[in-house]
Amino acid sequence: MLAGLMQPSPLSIASLIEFADRFHGSTELVTRTVEGPIHRYTYHDAHRRAKMLANALAALGLHSGDRIGTLAWNVHRHFELYFAVSGMGAVLHTINPRLFAEQIVYIVNHAEDRWIFVDLTFVPLLERLAEHLQSVAGYVIMTDEASMPETSLPNARCYETLLAEQSAEYSWPVLDETCASSLCYTSGTTGNPKGVLYSHRSTVLHSFCVCAADGLAVSSREVILPVVPMFHANAWGVAYAAPMSGAKLVLPGAKMDGASIFELLHDERVTLTLGVPTVWLMLLDYCESSGQALSHLERVVIGGAAAPRSMIERFERDHDVEVIHAWGMTEMSPLGTVCNLLPKHATLDAEARLDLKVKQGRPVYGVDLKITDDENHELPRDGRAFGRLKVRGPWITNGYFRGEGGAVLDDEQWFDTGDVSTLDPDGFMQITDRSKDVIKSGGEWISSIDLENHAIGHPAVAEAAVIAVPHPKWSERPLLVVRTRENATVTREEILAWMAQKLAKWQVPDDVVFVDALPHTATGKIRKLELRQQFAEHQLPDED
């Protein structure tokens, strides 16, 4: 092999904050603190404090490869941890506080976190769990001395006191770019959460994709408010991409209600914000009820769940804010596709644009995707065929921490996302279902999500889930499980007639059952596994 003669400079997370300090040193980071007031400082200050924190971590006896947990909101101290922990060679384990208590205990023990950094909000939660956390030597409460609470947490320290003891003189070590930088557990709808272990290389490459004009186009000209939490999937990479480009960051702390987010968007002249549909519903409703418009905001990135068509319309029509639909997963760092339209779409009318905008978008370079049938044959990219969505690329997982779940890639490095989707000739991808939820009826696949979306349109239906039940002839047939609205009455026959209006005959559910409540996961998704167990013996009416 003839080796190229370019500098070997390893890709590193510390280099991101170093760059921001050197070339965007006076750019602001603004935080709504958990304590209450707005906190402001610059990339220069943040880098200085990250170096003090790195010294503090060393003083606590932490080393390269050690896992350090965080239970924290989007706040400046969490930002400092992102760079200090990974930068000194340790592994930042961001813990999702919305997991069930027993899941938090499981992942802290599985990760063997040595210290946990915790926001004031989550101190009571940790106090209840601390006796079960076997590997944790101590807790750092992310506040100053004045706000330190009484706590039963063993070996509890104050973040600001810890920093005050340290010098800002610190040289980031040169690390192998493939070494572990951070750890995030999937929320795990079935079984225990599994850990995704990112590297410096994957994180920097993913950040390039977030900064790409065809990705999320993060640049020094943006003011960015990530509502998406830093405790899950790296706030979609924005905490890294912002210093990579010198964008101003606005961190919302613990307050995600419409009024609080609106206030920050307005006061800080935010141009780009990112989050899940739930948050935007609160924001749009707040704007509507208070009669206010989003005046500075230019773009909103919606991911985590499909953006409803009506939400895209409200942003674009009522506020002149461009909606960018995106899709990814924890296992993908998380960015996979971004719904940026192409030049040929410039002349589309509003409805046709929306037809595209509800899709999850096109892959950015670095993510390869395909759809296959159950036998791993690639399906056509015609926008109609749907199959298992598989991905590969340098910021996609190779396997879970400690080998949980076994081998996750096939021979050609493809990772099965567990989603079912279509792909159109321009590369636009649209999720149609989770592969475990799709109903396989006589060789045809029926999307449970499609059926649920139709059912939910009936005025009497509050919530709907479609699951497969075994069928002697068709192998599986769809069963619709419905929770009706309070005081609404509707019959099985009326619902089936409603469904038949919009669906092909073979797609219409074979039966409807009414329930008082549907089971949910910690993050609000319907637990279809539980439903499938509950209705495993359900007798479908004997027709057809």
CA dihedral 265, 270, 272, 276 (to 10 degrees): -20
Q: Regarding beta strands 387-392 and 415-423, do their DSSP bridges make them parallel or antiparallel, or are they unpaired? A: antiparallel
From the list 198-206, 294-302, 436-444, 473-481, the region that binds a second copy by CB under 8 A is: 198-206
Distance set, CA 132 to CA 122, 135, 188, 213, 392 (Å): 16, 9, 21, 46, 37
- With a CB cutoff of 8 Å and minimum separation 6, the contacts of 536 are 469, 470
* Residue from 202, 234, 360, 421 in contact with a second copy (CB under 8 A): 202
- Which residue lies nearer to a second copy by CB, 229 or 246? 246
Interacting stretch for a second copy, rule CB under 8 A, among 15-23, 68-76, 122-130, 226-234? 15-23
Q: Which two tokens stand for residue 33?
A: 């603190």
Which of 278, 310, 413, 491 touches a second copy by CB under 8 A? 413
Choose between 328 and 363: whose C-beta lies nearer to a second copy: 363
Give the DSSP letter of residue 7: -
Instruction: Give the 3-state secondary structure of 26-72.
Output: CCEEEEECCCCCEEEEEHHHHHHHHHHHHHHHHHCCCCCCCEEEEEC
Q: Regarding beta strands 322-328 and 299-302, do their DSSP bridges make them parallel or antiparallel, or are they unpaired?
A: parallel
Smallest CA-to-CA distance from 527 within 457, 431, 463, 455 is with 463
Name which position in 49, 77, 114, 201 contacts a second copy (CB under 8 A).
201
- Smallest separation (angstroms) from a second copy to the CB of 3: 6
Q: What is the residue type of 362? A: R
End-to-end CA distance of the chain: 66
Q: According to CB under 8 A, which residues from 422 to 441 bind a second copy?
A: 425-427
Assess whether 359 carries a catalytic annotation. no
CB of 271 to a second copy, least distance (A): 9
Binding mask 266-305 for a second copy (x = CB under 8 A): ----------------------------------------
Q: Decide if 94 is catalytic.
A: no
Q: Which of 84, 240, 59 is nearest to 173 (CA)?
A: 84
Q: Is 379 in the site for a second copy (CB under 8 A)?
A: no
CB of 443 to a second copy, least distance (A): 27
Phi-psi group of 71: left, alpha or beta (phi > 0 → left; psi -120 to 50 → alpha; rest → beta): beta
Residue (244 or 323) nearer to a second copy, CB: 244
| Least separation in angstroms between CB 24 and a second copy | 7
Burial of 80 (0-12, 13-18, 19+ CB in 10 A): buried
Measured CA to CA, the distance from residue 109 to residue 135 in angstroms comes to 6
C-alpha 350/C-alpha 309 separation (Å) is 12
Candidates 37, 150, 171, 343: give the one binding a second copy (CB under 8 A): 343
Among 25, 277, 308, 405, binds a second copy (CB under 8 A): 25
One residue of 24, 232, 299, 477 binding a second copy per CB under 8 A: 24
In b/e form, how buried is each residue of 371-398, taking b as 16+ CB within 10 angstroms? bbeeeeeebebeeeebbbbbbbbebbbe
Shortest Cβ 362–a second copy spacing (Å): 6
Contact yes or no for 361/325 (Cβ under 8 A): yes
Whole-number Å distance between alpha carbons of 303 and 280: 11
Residues 344-373 binding a second copy (CB under 8 A) are 362-363, 365, 368
Report the chain's C-alpha Rg in angstroms: 24
User: Which parts of 210-249 interact with a second copy (CB under 8 A)?
Assistant: 211-214, 217-221, 223, 244-246, 248
Give least dist CB 420 to a second copy, A: 20
Does 407 participate in binding a second copy (rule CB under 8 A)? no
Tell me which of 151, 440, 523, 530 is the catalytic residue. 440
Determine contact, residues 348/354, Cβ cutoff 8 Å. no
- Residue from 82, 115, 117, 400 touching a second copy (CB under 8 A): that is 400
Confirm whether 502 is a catalytic residue: no
- Taking CB under 8 A as the rule, does residue 112 contact a second copy? no
Q: Under the criterion CB under 8 A, does residue 310 sit at the interface with a second copy?
A: no
Q: Which of 186, 330, 397, 422 is catalytic?
A: 186
Per CB under 8 A, which of residues 38..67 are in contact with a second copy?
64-65
In the complex with a second copy, which residue's Cβ is closer, 150 or 411? 411
Total interface residues for a second copy by CB under 8 A: 75
Of 46 and 481, the one with the shorter C-beta distance to a second copy is: 46
Please list, in sequence order, all residues whose beta carbon lies within 8 angstroms of the beta carbon of residue 291, skipping any fewer than 6 positions away. none
CB of 314 to a second copy, least distance (A): 25
The reply to whether 327 belongs to the active site is: no
| Identified catalytic residue from 327, 414, 445, 474 | 445
Stretch that binds a second copy, among 24-32, 127-135, 275-283, 477-485 (CB under 8 A): 24-32
Among 18, 222, 268, 331, the one annotated catalytic: 331
188 contributes a contact to a second copy by CB under 8 A: no
Choosing from 101, 164, 342, 497, the residue that interacts with a second copy (CB under 8 A) is 342
> What's 214-240 look like in SS3?
CCCCCCCCCEEEECCCCCCHHHHHHHH
Residues 476-505 that bind a second copy (CB under 8 A): none
Beta-strand relationship, 115-118 and 91-94: unpaired
Short-list 369, 392, 233, 364, CA closest to 303: 233
In whole angstroms, the minimum distance from the beta carbon of 299 to a second copy comes to: 12
Tell me the pairing of strands 322-328 and 335-338.
antiparallel
**Cβ nearer to a second copy, comparing 210 with 482:** 210
What is the distance between the alpha carbons of residues 334 and 140, in angstroms, rounded to a whole number? Answer: 28
Task: Find the binding residues for a second copy in span 60-99 (CB under 8 A).
Answer: 64-65, 91
Please give the positions annotated as active site. Answer: 186, 331, 440, 445
